[in-house]
């Protein structure tokens, strides 16, 4: 079976479409590694960006003090500067003052590598957008819910976490899906700090095998599938968390 597939693509390469990743074990290995790193970047950065967004929106909704001002400044700063410059700032500038470890063969090894910096800056960048998203979600919850909770003896904090926040989360899904699609697309920027993600390995492959057009088309298709998958997953979560009587077309 696998042999047949390899033979098919090897034949195909003689006709001009040279997809080495499907018959060359080395290129296939590199490609799978790249796909793995891309998925890892999406999963980790997506997770942390949602945490940052939820935390930031909670702070902005509950308080007006210096904490809220710091979150506001963070959102403005990260939304209005380029992701790639942020990544360079973390990787080169902050990275230059980070302690350097020695690995087992005595070579210098930074404490935080390219992958970790990429996850950190992607999470902070996407997190800034998620703060706005969740905050808009909180704004979409009618005040009467909070007032009803307060009348029942909830403290403002309890009312926020038990009543407003769960509703706000459900109102945020459409915008959150959008942000996560943008995050999926943004993982390609990790290329710039040398993370061997999909675009990086594809560049290596087309440099060796001279099949630039084929590889570009392959990664374009893969990113379309990945963004589709992200939207599908979010829709599944949204459907699972749907409350009767809320949201458009709530058939349940």
Partner 1 sequence: MTASQALANVVEWMPFILRGFGLNILMSVLAILIGTALGTFLGLGQLSRLRLVGAPSRLATQLFRNAPWLVLLFYCIFLMPYQVNIGGMSIVLPSWLRATIGFSFPVAANFSEIVRGAVNSVPHGQWEAAEALGYSRRATLFRIVLPQCISRMIPPWMNLYALLLTATPLSMIVGVEEALGRTQAAVQAQANSAMLIPMYLALLAMFFFYTWPINRLSRTLEGRFGTK
- In whole angstroms, the minimum distance from the beta carbon of 54 to partner 1 comes to 23
> Taking every pair of C-alpha atoms in the chain, what is the biggest distance, in angstroms?
76
Number of other residues whose CB lies within 10 A of the CB of residue 239: 11
- In whole angstroms, the minimum distance from the beta carbon of 160 to partner 1 comes to 24
79: which 2 tokens?
Answer: 């939304």
- In whole angstroms, the minimum distance from the beta carbon of 114 to partner 1 comes to 14
- In whole angstroms, the minimum distance from the beta carbon of 248 to partner 1 comes to 15
What gap in Å lies between CA 35 and CA 201, rounded to an integer?
A: 9
- Site residues (vs partner 1, CB under 8 A): 76-77, 79-86, 88-89, 92-94, 96-97, 181, 184-189, 191-192, 199, 212-213, 216, 219-220, 223-224, 227-228
Helix, strand, coil share (%) of the chain residues, nearest 5: 80, 0, 20
29 contact partners, CB below 8 Å, separation of at least 6: none
Identify the residue whose tokens are 């307060």.
Answer: 150
**C-beta of 51 vs 100, nearer to partner 1:** 100
**C-beta of 119 vs 189, nearer to partner 1:** 189
**C-beta of 18 vs 184, nearer to partner 1:** 184
Is the dihedral angle over the CA atoms 177, 179, 182, 187 positive or is it negative?
negative
**C-beta of 128 vs 149, nearer to partner 1:** 128
**C-beta of 48 vs 191, nearer to partner 1:** 191
- In whole angstroms, the minimum distance from the beta carbon of 219 to partner 1 comes to 6
**C-beta of 149 vs 198, nearer to partner 1:** 198
Q: Are 186 and 83 in contact (CB under 8 A)?
A: yes
**C-beta of 8 vs 232, nearer to partner 1:** 232
Residues in the chain, how many? 252
- In whole angstroms, the minimum distance from the beta carbon of 223 to partner 1 comes to 6
Q: Are 249 and 232 in contact (CB under 8 A)?
A: no
Q: Are 101 and 109 in contact (CB under 8 A)?
A: yes
- In whole angstroms, the minimum distance from the beta carbon of 220 to partner 1 comes to 6
- Listing DSSP states for 163-188 in one string gives IIHHHHHHHTHHHHHHHHHHHHHHGG
């Amino acid at each position: 079976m696998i042999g047949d597939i390899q033979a098919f693509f090897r034949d195909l390469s003689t006709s001009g479409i040279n997809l080495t990743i499907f018959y060359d074990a080395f290129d296939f290995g590199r490609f799978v590694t790249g796909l793995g790193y891309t998925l890892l970047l999406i999963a980790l950065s997506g997770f942390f960006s949602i945490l940052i967004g939820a935390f930031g929106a909670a702070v902005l909704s509950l308080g007006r003090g210096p904490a809220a001002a710091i979150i506001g400044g963070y959102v403005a700063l990260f939304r209005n500067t380029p992701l790639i410059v942020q990544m360079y700032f973390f990787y080169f500038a902050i990275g230059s003052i980070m302690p350097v470890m020695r690995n087992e063969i005595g070579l210098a090894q930074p404490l935080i590598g390219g992958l970790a910096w990429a996850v950190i800056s992607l999470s902070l960048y996407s997190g800034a957008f998620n703060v706005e998203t969740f905050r808009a979600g909180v704004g979409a919850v009618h005040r009467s819910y909070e007032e009803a909770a307060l009348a029942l003896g909830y403290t403002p904090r309890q009312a926020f976490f038990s009543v407003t926040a769960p509703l706000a989360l459900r109102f945020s899904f459409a915008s959150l899906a959008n942000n996560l699609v943008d995050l999926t697309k943004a993982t390609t920027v990790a290329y710039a700090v040398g993370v061997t993600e999909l675009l990086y390995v594809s560049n290596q492959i087309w440099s060796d095998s001279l099949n630039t057009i084929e590889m570009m088309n392959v990664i374009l298709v893969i990113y379309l599938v990945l963004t589709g998958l992200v939207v599908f997953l979010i829709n599944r979560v949204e459907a699972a968390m749907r409350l009767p009587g809320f949201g458009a077309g709530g058939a349940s």
